[in-house]
Amino acid sequence: MTFERHTRRIQADAPGTHAELTWFTCGPENADRKVYMQAALHADEQPGIMVLHHLLPMLEKASTDGTLKAHFVIFPMVNPLGMNQVHFEVHGGRYHDRSGTNFNRRWPDLFAAVGDTVALKLTNDGAENVRLIRNEIRLWLEQQHPVTALQKLRHFIMTQAYDADYVLDLHCDNEALNHLFVTPDSMDELTELADWMGSVAQLTAEDSGGGSFDEVWPSLWTRLAKAHPEKPIPFSARAATLEYRGQTDVYDQLGKTDAQNLFNFLLAKDLIAGSLPSLPEKAAAPTPLTATEMLRVDRPGLLAYRVELGEHVKKGQPVADLIALDGPDAFIERTPILAGTSGRVISRNLSKYVVPGNSIAKIVGTEPLAERQGYLLED
């Protein structure tokens, strides 16, 4: 087993410029299972970089010890394009400057790409179907001709992730507690991840409407199985977005603890040989993303929160006051912002100056909300 560092030059869109992408591999290349992990797809979300910084030496030691039972592909900072977007000393790494594209939206729909060709080749052997489906994805990727730097970056990332059994995308929120975004089929196999992560909420949606990276992979397998119930199609791409607290939570000790817990999850799934420490507390039961309110404001103002992270609120309870910044009552009037559902507050907004449409909190309830249809993400 070898622990290797790799680099790739991504030619940028301006003459004479490029970005450098670094990743690591370890574990037997012919292993039955593959794990793909990445951090900082939203380049201004860096707790995941710290987590993988501490996880890499653990994986290197496991590689030296010969205990890795899967092949690992790790991108500690997967978006060098976004890391370069610093304007007037402010880092804007969520949206691609040139196109305005959210780096974690509008990834390709693999079912639309390969579904028809796969349908003609399915067999009555589940393992063979997994092999041929992945091969069709590989062939489709080989036929693509990315032109822009963003397209080239995305295409290369997909070539590294397409055949992974586990795809873990490390993100963070604005100001938040640990939580997961995950498809229902993936959640069935990632309960240990939620436990070890100490996740306070598992927000499930088969399609949240944005074409996010974590949904690209499981969505294909779920939709193929539904389209061809007469054929054995094992669910073969468990994926999740791991939200590691908030943007400012980039600390050595937090990263070290999170890395150890992530390593323990890999032990629990027998992806690494070894004994587990005492099991963690069970995480909260998953809830549909449609039951989570993205509480928004309808006017500009200055936020004054009335609730803390983790607090349970009742429908109609004031979550924050919005201090007016213009008009006859400017700097005097306070308008309560009321919870539209009962549940737990798992995130808040770091910026206290907000404008119409800004989301100021996620409130995780248990009952789906009528207005939560179609596009389910904050953006």
Residue with tokens 């977005």: 241
CA 349 to chain centre: 19
Token output for 125: 């052997």
CATH 2.60.40.10 holds for 289-364: no
Angle, vertex CA 308, rays to CA 304 and CA 312, nearest 5: 120
Per-residue pLDDT at 180: 98
Angle, vertex CA 359, rays to CA 358 and CA 363, nearest 5: 165
Residue 289 has pLDDT above 70, yes or no: yes
Q: Which amino acid is at 5?
A: R
Cα→Cα distances 156→9, 70, 149, 215, 353, Å: 11, 21, 11, 18, 38
Residue 185 has pLDDT above 90, yes or no: yes
Identify the band that residue 1 occupies on the pLDDT scale cut at 50, 70 and 90.
low
CA atoms within 13 A on the CB side of 200: 20
Return the percentage of the chain with pLDDT > 70, whole number: 100
Residue 248 has pLDDT above 70, yes or no: yes
319-376: per-residue pLDDT in tens? 999 999 999 999 999 999 999 999 999 999 999 999 999 999 999 999 999 999 999 9
Q: Which amino acid is at 207?
A: D
Annotated domain spans of the chain: 4-285, 289-364
By C-alpha distance, which of 251, 273, 277 is closest to 53? 251
CA distance 332 to 330: 5
Per-residue pLDDT at 86: 97
Q: Which amino acid is at 371?
A: E
Residue 81 has pLDDT above 80, yes or no: yes
CB atoms within 10 A of CB 6: 12
Per-residue pLDDT at 320: 98
39-57: per-residue pLDDT in tens? 999 999 999 999 999 999 9
CB atoms within 10 A of CB 20: 9
Per-residue pLDDT at 102: 98
Enter the pTM of the model: 0.97
Per-residue pLDDT at 71: 98
Interval 212-218 mean pLDDT: 98
Strands 343-348 and 312-313: antiparallel
CA 333 to chain centre: 39
Q: Which amino acid is at 148?
A: T
Fold of the 4-285 domain: Aminopeptidase (3.40.630)
Interval 278-299 mean pLDDT: 97
Cα→Cα distances 272→35, 67, 161, Å: 11, 6, 19
CB atoms within 10 A of CB 81: 24
Per-residue pLDDT at 325: 98
Helix ranges restricted to H, the chain: 47-65, 80-83, 110-119, 126-143, 149-161, 184-189, 191-197, 213-227, 252-268
